[in-house]
Structure 1
Amino acid sequence: MRTLGNILWFLLGGVFMGLLWWFFGVLAFISIIGIPWGRSCFVLGKFSFFPFGKEAISRDQLTGHEDVGTGALGMIGNIIWFIFAGIWLALGHLMSAVACFVTIIGIPFALQHLKLAMISLAPVGQTVVNKEDLTRKY
């Protein structure tokens, strides 16, 4: 079922949002100082292409140190990200979610777009894992 969901997702709009993530990744790489953001863009762009069966979580959850957070530099990075790319990616995911909510079949896709919209606002400190790995660990 996950494979079918990913194929439908990709064909019905996931490809556009994934490419938008990669576009911002390329722009970040061009700026040299944006390379860490660019790397995150490619990881999250791949997640945006095929999101079903994967989950975006805080890197702190992987280490078990949930009180650490992303720190001051991570917070500054998220603020810079929000201004230059986050708001645009979030709007793209929100518009896609609205379009998917129109049909009953599209509701799971819309919910996934809403998750991606939240991630796109502050991606520093996030990572993508398989859901099976997540359930095995916890």
Structure 2
Amino acid sequence: MRGLLRFVLNVIWLVLAGLPLALAYAVAGVICCILVITIPWGIASFRIANYVLWPFGRTVVDRPTAGAASAVGNVIWILVAGIWLVIGHVASAVALAVTIVGIPLAIAELKIIPVTLTPLGKQIVPSERMFASYGSAVQL
């Protein structure tokens, strides 16, 4: 039953929010890859584009090997693009939350904010993965 609910929510999400968001992140990724020095952010943008196409049933966790370079890169990202993207996600979440059907979609929109704000040093995993909800990518 959960799988069917996730599928239905993902299809509705794809039509209402997923395609436009994924397209925006893909364009940002292409721009970042063209400007060679920003390739890490471009790769992160493509990863987020993939995530926003089908977010239900997946979650974002910290990558255990992320280090200081990811932290510095995230600070730069927040100042240049992260804040504006978060404002866009919040505005979209408010618009989606107007209807009862849109409430789970608004929650998913808010769930994307942490990876939008700090994309480096993160990975996307299935929600069923052990400890995924606790922020650890380690499986025992």
CA contact (8 A) 1:9 1:109 kept: yes
Question: Would you say the 8 A contact 1:24–1:85 is kept in 2?
Answer: no
Written as runs of structure 1 = structure 2, the 5 A alignment for 1:29-48 is 29-48=33-52
Alpha-carbon distance in 1 for matches of 2:30, 2:128? 31
Residue correspondence of structure 1 range 66-81 to structure 2 within 5 A: 70-81=66-77
**Distance in 2 separating the partners of 1:90 and 1:81:** 12
Call closer, same or farther: CA 1:134–1:44 in 2, change over 3 Å. farther
2:84 maps to which of 81, 84, 88: 88
Counterpart Cα distance in 2 of 1:58 and 1:127: 6
Partner of 2:135: none
Q: TM-score, normalised by structure 2?
A: 0.84
Runs of at least 5 residues in structure 2 that lack an aligned partner in the other structure:
133-138
In structure 1, the partner of 2:136 is none
Instruction: Name which of 124, 128, 132 aligns with 2:128.
Output: 132
1:57 match: 61
- Per the alignment, in what secondary structure is the counterpart of residue 74 of structure 1? helix
Q: Would you identify which runs of 4 or more consecutive aligned residues in structure 1 move more than 2 Å? A: 132-138
Rounded to whole Å, the distance in 2 between the matches of 1:3 and 1:87 is 30
In structure 1, C-alpha distance between the alignment counterparts of 2:130 and 2:123, rounded to whole Å = 12
State the distance in 2 between where 1:71 and 1:33 align: 19
CA contact (8 A) 1:81 1:121 kept: yes
Contact 1:21 1:89 in 2 (8 A): no
The Cα RMSD (Å) is 1.8
CA shift at 1:131, angstroms? 1.6
Aligned length: 130
DSSP-derived class of the 1:52 partner: coil
CA spacing shift, 1:105–1:21, aligned 2, 3 Å? same
Residues of 1 paired with 2:67 and 2:131: CA distance? 27
Match of 2:104 among 92, 102, 108: 108
Deviations 1:58-88 (A, max 9, x none): 112xx7xxxxxx4322111001111222122
Kindly provide the amino acid, as one letter, of the partner of residue 35 in structure 1: I
Please say which of residues 80-89 and 43-52 is displaced more in the overlay. 80-89
Identity score, percent: 39
Provide TM-score, normalisation by structure 1. 0.85
Q: Give the 3-state SS of the residue equivalent to 1:103 in structure 2.
A: coil
